[in-house]
Homo-oligomer: A and B are copies of this chain.
């Protein structure tokens, strides 16, 4: 990372540096001193932009949450059969995870020690419930198997999707966003078993 000039700093670039440091050191393990060194600007310059590291955390996880909740407002998530809406939401979740990789990574690592972290956990839970509702509706329509309890299925499907942040590297060498999205949709809906 090159040291940026103070004048070049915007809340946006500061946020991007902060998220990287939070993901490397953990939020608890990050001090304003760490942020100042990583950003190459003084602590007082940081305080010019934000009230402290908790505000940076709130902005960062908001970006991830806005991306995820935004999906639910899209046309294909609102209209049509529940199973089709669910499939659309799952594919878009993969896209948001990959597009906003550092922000979603941070969101998934939040633990709940501060009020901002607890708020983020609550919002994550809300999102999980919205997707679980869709899965339940699809099961009620008879389009999705009914022999796996809805909350358990949601947890396992989220486990698969969220694991992407652990191994996805946007360096163009591994699978791309499209390939990962296709794989998740195929596995979540059809499983490994060969289609007859």
What is the predominant secondary structure among interface residues of chain A facing chain B? Answer: helix
Report how far A182 CA is from B156 CA in the complex, Å. 12
| Contact A167-B191, Cβ < 8 Å, known A148-B183, A148-B186, A160-B160 | no
Number of copies: 2
Within 8 A of B (CB), among A174-192: 175, 179-180, 182-184, 186-192
Q: Chain A: how many interface residues by the 8 Å CB criterion?
A: 42
Interfacial chain B residues near A152, Cβ < 8 Å: 175, 179-180, 183
Mark A148-179 against chain B: 1 for CB-CB distance below 8 A, else 0.
11001101111111111011000000010001
Report the stretch among A11-19, A68-76, A138-146 that lies at the interface.
A138-146
Interfacial chain B residues near A26, Cβ < 8 Å: 26
Interfacial chain B residues near A179, Cβ < 8 Å: 149, 152
Interfacial chain B residues near A183, Cβ < 8 Å: 148-149, 152-153, 156
B159 touches A164 (CB 8 A): yes
A145 touches B175 (CB 8 A): no
Residue of B nearest to A155 (CB): B167
